[in-house]
Amino acid sequence: MSLEFDYIIVGAGTAGCILAARLSEDPSVEVLLVEAGGTDRLPIVSMPGALPFVYQNRHIQWGYRSGPEPELHGKVIDEKAGKILGGSSSINAMIFNRGNPMDYDGWAADGLTDWGFAQCLPYFRKMETFEDGADPWRGGAGPLRISRAAGEHKLYEAFLHAGVEAGQEVTSDHNGYRQEGMHIAQSFIADGVRWSSSKAYLRPAMKRPNLHVRTRLTVSRVLVENSRAVGIEAMTWSGAERVRAQREVIVSAGAINSPRLLMLSGIGDPDELAPHGIPVVAEVRDVGKNLQNHPGVDIQFATDHEHSLTSQIGPVGRAKLAADWLARRRGLGTTNFFEAGAFLRVGDDVDFPNLQYEFLPLTRQLRGNKLVPVPGFQFWIDLSRPESRGCVRLRSADPTAAPIIVFATYTNRADLDDMVRAVQQARDLASQPSLGRYVRVELNPGPDVRSDAEIAAWIRTATGTSYHPAGTCRMGVDDASVVDGEARVRAVPGLRVVDASIMPKVITGNLNAPVMMMAEKIADMIKSVRPLPESDAGYYRQLAAEPVEREAGSPD
């Protein structure tokens, strides 16, 4: 194979697959896509209902752990990140959430004027085929197929009704005009199978002779000559291999591995590189900093056996689930089980929903060393816009060594206060008549955890993450930002970063859909084509001080 290409893309994940597909649409350019993992053509990846087994499969993940976390008693947390074609879009929970329009308008207000909601919405529409068809907010002809969950189990309905009883609204499309409120979920699932960036974008594009995909190849550094990125160096069985890029190197390795690769290449904070003996190629001090995530907790309640979906997923139920899916693509194998959720606010001092709920009509608890199904239901609640910031640092100059990842969760006390209020809000939801009639007992935190101090202490032991790392190669207009508004690394021409690491602030929701949008949008920037026309579709806003709605494009 040639050792020279026009574009080299490092990472065949959520963004990398899209970039490879879009850039290779031009038959005059040669594109190389490099992935450290292997194929995604595995039944457990394609079957939505096999999600728990995907999460447990270490052969298709990087196996990273964050911590010790200083505010969580030194807790260490497994971080799920895909090492496979499709990256994390091949192992995630398939939940389709775009984020709140105010997220993107907030980026624009900070100077990234091409990244407001009006500029981003056309790319969200471009990438999807929504089950309900196109409208001013939704797309109807894109590569990704997005469906609504069936939400047929009685506890999903009870969850929505409990929200209304607690004074919340139900939104008809949380990825449309109004995000805030209770909702039936949407997912990257169609025809009973997962729709990853690999399935939607890469597989069709791989038929092109100008797109080259190499798997199980780990990139050890970006090659920089005369301050310009000119290629990559990768590790092979026979030693180091160098491949050159005539136009650009694009790093799409994710919010953990992208800053790690830049630092291994000598691009970063000199004070971080010096202890590892890495020569400084470009001083970009914010590489690896500004790390954000969505910290969260599970609130669990026990029910009678017949009311919970747990009764259908015992050993016999799992066998039937697999058989139905393999034979007919039907049954529980076609769901990720996250079929209802909500974006709610806690406190009167925020302009956006600062909590995300994912509702499950089943629950499991750790009994001894074994995770045991328990009849019940649970809320996963995370903070959608935490203020705490962590970092990614090198452990050594060895490119095979895992990095040091510390989210510094709750180092900003306001985040812990919000989570305490979130637990109280969740309890209020569960006490409403529609859900309360099913509750036998609260399992987590438990009825003995009542005061704010007791809840806060429990939160410090129970907190996990939603596996949404972002921000470590921050996009911005200031000199301290790692990349500019077109994802170009400052001080290193010929190098871009395109993945969740460039988010200046993490968005309100799951990251898969926003990263796909960003990849679509930046692909146009790389190709120097005119951006899609801005949208005039409005969106729902209720500011902390007073209710405000944008009228343009709002529904009747």
Does residue 304 surpass a pLDDT of 60? yes
Whether residues 29 and 137 share a domain: the answer is: yes
Judge whether 302 lies within some domain.
yes
Mean pLDDT value of segment 425-435? 97
Q: How many helices and strands in the chain, by DSSP H and E?
A: 15, 29
Tally of CB atoms within 10 A around 553: 16
Peptide bond between residue 531 and the one before it cis (omega within 30 degrees of 0): no
Whether residues 6 and 140 share a domain: the answer is: yes
Q: Please give the pLDDT value at position 546.
A: 53
| pLDDT tens, position by position, 496-505 | 999 999 999 9
Does residue 551 surpass a pLDDT of 80? no
Judge whether 402 lies within some domain.
no
Does residue 377 surpass a pLDDT of 90? yes
Judge whether 51 lies within some domain.
yes
Does residue 393 surpass a pLDDT of 70? yes
* Predicted confidence band of residue 312 (pLDDT cuts 50, 70, 90): confident
Whether residues 339 and 363 share a domain: the answer is: yes
| pLDDT tens, position by position, 331-359 | 888 999 999 999 999 987 889 999 999 99
Q: Please give the pLDDT value at position 548.
A: 42
Whether residues 338 and 457 share a domain: the answer is: yes
What average pLDDT is seen over the chain? 94
Mean pLDDT value of segment 193-220? 97
Q: Which of 398, 427, 462 is the last residue of a domain?
A: 462
* Predicted confidence band of residue 547 (pLDDT cuts 50, 70, 90): very low
Whether residues 238 and 363 share a domain: the answer is: no
Judge whether 434 lies within some domain.
yes
Judge whether 334 lies within some domain.
yes
The CATH number for 487's domain is 3.50.50.60
Q: Please give the pLDDT value at position 2.
A: 64
Whether residues 56 and 178 share a domain: the answer is: no
Burial of 414 (0-12, 13-18, 19+ CB in 10 A): middle
Peptide bond between residue 445 and the one before it cis (omega within 30 degrees of 0): yes
Does residue 550 surpass a pLDDT of 60? no
Q: Quick check: is 468 catalytic? A: yes
Whether residues 333 and 431 share a domain: the answer is: yes
Q: Which of 422, 439, 462 is the last residue of a domain?
A: 462
Domain count, the chain: 2
* Predicted confidence band of residue 238 (pLDDT cuts 50, 70, 90): confident
The CATH number for 171's domain is 3.30.410.40
Catalytic residue among 153, 183, 307, 468: 468
**Nearest partner of 385 among 350, 425, 341, 348, judged by Cα:** 350
Judge whether 210 lies within some domain.
yes
Q: Please give the pLDDT value at position 328.
A: 87
Whether residues 351 and 422 share a domain: the answer is: yes
Domain span at residue 94 reads 1-67+79-144+193-289+471-556
Judge whether 395 lies within some domain.
no
Q: Please give the pLDDT value at position 542.
A: 84
- The proportion of the chain whose per-residue pLDDT surpasses 90, expressed as a percent, equals 87
Whether residues 505 and 361 share a domain: the answer is: no
d(CA 501, CA 260): 11
Whether residues 201 and 243 share a domain: the answer is: yes
Whether residues 254 and 374 share a domain: the answer is: no
Amino acid (1-letter code) at residue 36: A
Q: Which of 462, 491, 523 is the last residue of a domain?
A: 462
Whether residues 480 and 418 share a domain: the answer is: no
